[in-house]
Amino acid sequence: MGIKIGMVSLGCAKNRVDAELMLGVLVKEGFELESDPAQADAIIVNTCGFIEDAKQESIDTILEMAEYKQDKCRALIVTGCLSKRYKDDLPPELPEVDAFLGIGETEKIAQVVRDCMAGRRIVDADAGFCYLEDVRRVLTTPGYTAYVKIADGCNNRCAFCAIPYIRGNYISRTMENIVREVEQLAETGVKEVVLIAQDTTYYGKDLYHKPMLAQLLEQVAAVPGVHWVRALYCYPELIDDELLRVMKENPKVCPYLDIPLQHINDKVLKEMNRRGDGALIRGLYKKIRGLGGFALRTTMIAGFPGETEEQFGELMEFVQQCPFDRLGVFPYSEEEGTPAAGRQDQVPLRVRKSRAGKIMRAQKKISRAFDESRIGTVCEVLVEGQEESGLYYGRSQWEAPETDGKVYIKLADGLEIGSFVQVKIVDAEDYDVTGVPV
């Protein structure tokens, strides 16, 4: 019997792809995968180090997995952003861990497991972008949906964000490389492809000297077997007419824009080191709404250092006057090593949380109004599951996996999970809608 590997991956979808690549390497090298950590010979924790809550979750998970070393587990390996970010601090604090790897070290994982099983301790938490073309990922998503990472790193250098210090500068994969992977995924039954990067709209600037997301979307949509393709995390200053045209006109490209805005006040945006200003954001919003048929999602930060009540009031007004179908908000998190963390004008945490709560209370009403506006319309739904009551649920092109609400389907029988069905919306709640097959 082979060595059994358990994997816990935390954080974003980009981290999930890294974990799936590691699992692919391990399977290729003859290891067995084990879903129950109590039965695993080696456990890998793929960590997130983005914000304070994520770092704490990573530490808690490492300590939880370390408990299994008292029984069957012989090697505990920590990978990912936290390991890279604190490669000098973590090893002496966590003697229970047998290896620390950073990011982009996918090809090393099998040998690291073998070395740890032989009693060696390894600290090699470097960074880089390693995407192995000859390795088939082991999907941890349902078989009909897959994330595809089109780039790693980031060049934006937002004042609040540690990602560039962890993952480095933006590095695009070639279009041919991405399309080959999508073809492989489609051959295994993947129908929905979700393109991800820290900034998908920046895709290709380093390789082709201009943004190429629109062209990439069309090439991926042309792959036989792909039914939907969506792109997440589109920055406002690089959303151009060509990208909007492809999303609007190509029936396989989801008309769904996730635009992380963070704020609307010009002074706050400048201090955040964001490109563009409030006028650009408002103009883009007006243009997209004028086209019609798009679902819009955004994220905001409440309580950035120095944010005044007046500046927050402008943000609240924008959220209400330019409503997004879906919106998330984070209380500002001080990330060590970032320019914003060193500022002396930090907003008290209670104020940050209070402001974030005010935005979410306003957004709840907006979301409800958006869902109610869908009553009477018909949409195509990807069937994802069935509740114990027998009620099916899924998502339309306007719902991204793991982040948005559900479309519940009543008066339906015998629907196949992973299939597509036309649904007429008949009822709405704050974040979910209900429909019947047509």
Domains in the chain (CATH in brackets) are 4-124 (3.40.50.12160), 145-371 (3.80.30.20), 378-437 (2.40.50.140)
pLDDT of 126 higher than 70:
no
Of 175, 161, 239, nearest to 206 by C-alpha is 175
Reported confidence tier of residue 302, pLDDT bands at 50, 70, 90: very high
Instruction: Calculate the average pLDDT of the chain.
Output: 94
Helices in 5-47 by DSSP H: which ranges?
Answer: 13-28
The answer to whether the CB of 329 falls within 8 A of the CB of 360 is yes
**Which residues are CB-contacts of 268 (< 8 A; sequence separation ≥ 6)?**
304, 306, 307, 311
Residue by residue, DSSP assigns 165-215 as HHH-S-EEPPHHHHHHHHHHHHHTT--EEEEE-S-GGGTTHHHHSS--HHH
| Separation of alpha carbons 255 and 231, rounded Å | 9
Q: Which two tokens stand for residue 188?
A: 């295994």
The type of residue at 153 is: G
Q: Which two tokens stand for residue 364?
A: 């709840």
Reported confidence tier of residue 230, pLDDT bands at 50, 70, 90: very high
pLDDT digits (tens, 9 = 90+) for 359-408: 999 999 999 999 999 999 999 999 999 999 999 999 999 999 999 999 99
Residue whose pair of structure tokens reads 């935005």 in the numeric block: 359
Most confident of 46-50, 85-89, 157-161: 157-161
| Separation of alpha carbons 424 and 421, rounded Å | 10
Q: Which two tokens stand for residue 10?
A: 């935390």
Residue whose pair of structure tokens reads 């078989």 in the numeric block: 143
Of 357, 424, 426, nearest to 396 by C-alpha is 424
| Separation of alpha carbons 304 and 172, rounded Å | 30
Beta pairing partners, 380? 422
The type of residue at 78 is: V
pLDDT digits (tens, 9 = 90+) for 307-350: 999 999 999 999 999 999 999 999 999 998 899 999 999 999 99
| Separation of alpha carbons 408 and 425, rounded Å | 9
**Which residues are CB-contacts of 262 (< 8 A; sequence separation ≥ 6)?**
158, 160, 269, 272, 274, 299, 300, 301, 304
Of 77, 127, 66, nearest to 99 by C-alpha is 77
Task: Find the distance separating the first CA and the last CA of the chain, reported in whole Å.
Answer: 51
The type of residue at 415 is: L
Reported confidence tier of residue 256, pLDDT bands at 50, 70, 90: very high
Q: What per-residue confidence (pLDDT) applies to 128? A: 64
**Which residues are CB-contacts of 434 (< 8 A; sequence separation ≥ 6)?**
407, 408, 409, 410, 425, 426, 427, 428
- The strand ranges marked E within 338-415 are 378-386, 392-395, 407-409
Q: What per-residue confidence (pLDDT) applies to 91? A: 92
- The torsion angles phi and psi of 126, rounded to 5 degrees, stand at -95, -175
Q: What per-residue confidence (pLDDT) applies to 94? A: 94
Reported confidence tier of residue 165, pLDDT bands at 50, 70, 90: confident
User: Do β-strands 392-395 and 378-386 pair in parallel, antiparallel, or remain unpaired?
Assistant: antiparallel
Q: What per-residue confidence (pLDDT) applies to 50? A: 78
Reported confidence tier of residue 436, pLDDT bands at 50, 70, 90: very high
| Separation of alpha carbons 153 and 172, rounded Å | 9
Reported confidence tier of residue 127, pLDDT bands at 50, 70, 90: low
Q: What per-residue confidence (pLDDT) applies to 418? A: 97
Of 177, 185, 259, nearest to 229 by C-alpha is 185
**Which residues are CB-contacts of 338 (< 8 A; sequence separation ≥ 6)?**
159, 160, 161, 162, 165
The type of residue at 298 is: T
pLDDT digits (tens, 9 = 90+) for 204-221: 999 999 999 999 999 999
